[in-house]
Amino acid sequence: MPPLGIISGPMLLKSHVLGRLKPRALETPFGPATILLSDEVAFLPRHGLEGEPYILPHRINHPANLTALRDLGVRQVVSANSTGSLKTAFPPGTLVVPDDYIMLAASPTVFHDQPVHITPALSEELRQEWLSAAADCRLAIVNGGVYWHTVGPRFETRAEVRMASAFADIVGMTLGGEASVAKELGLDYASLCSVDNFAHGIGGKPLTMKEIVRCSRENAGAIVRIVKQLLEKRRGNG
């Protein structure tokens, strides 16, 4: 069975839920990428490895990262993404498996000379795997929702949040680029999003990085449990 591609920040590595992984440096037409490998997992640390400079969202090389996963035989990619809430009905601590996304900014792409156009979509099969694993863990999760992708690294203005909240439920800086490039490369992709803060102007409290980091750490335990269950279910079905 091909390895499952997994993308997240450092929380999964720190948990050891992915088992023993060996780093593999790959060269792609879009630049270098480092993937951590086991027999069943190809893990992509989207913000870089611990001890290395942190890669801000707008500096992530999605074409290189996703191409490296594909070249390693990956055909399906699941990701864990940190988000802000655009709705008071989605307070910090909420887990969401979105079924669509909005990305109005220029999307990263592997196509530069070819007249190719993809129809973006998140994988329903992988979405159901996320939902099933969360249900097995008896964790509440929102089935569906729209992710609004912003470029970063700054947060959104209050006016931008008011506009986005009319069309989307959560906001972040990574899913749109990953999902779009994955689709271009023929990879299935779906995300589990943790709501780590209310977006600017929602919820009545000032938006600070300190609070976002605190909530993200609290949500990490649930994410790790779900990823562990997802991998165990895959082993059982293998």
| 117-140 per-position pLDDT tens digit | 889 999 999 999 999 999 999 999
Sequence-distant (6+) residues with CB within 8 A of 176 are: 101, 102, 103, 105, 107, 147, 149
Tokens representing 148 are 């609004």
**Mean pLDDT, rounded, for 154-173:** 96
pLDDT tops 90 at residue 238 = no
**Could you check whether the bond before residue 206 is cis, i.e. omega within 30 degrees of 0?**
no
Contact 50, 10 (CB under 8 A): yes
Give 58's DSSP letter.
Answer: G
Q: What is the pLDDT of residue 233?
A: 93
Domain limits at 139?
A: 4-237
Q: What is the pLDDT of residue 137?
A: 97
What CATH number did the domain enclosing 142 receive? 3.40.50.1580
Sequence-distant (6+) residues with CB within 8 A of 228 are: 17
Give 122's DSSP letter.
Answer: -
Q: Please state the pTM of the whole predicted model.
A: 0.94
Which of 101, 191, 67 minimizes the C-alpha distance to 141?
191
When divided into structural domains, the chain yields a total of 1
Angstrom distance (rounded) from CA 39 to CA 137:
25
Continuous segment of H or E residues that includes residue 219: helix 209-237
Indicate the average pLDDT of the chain.
93
**Mean pLDDT, rounded, for 50-57:** 88
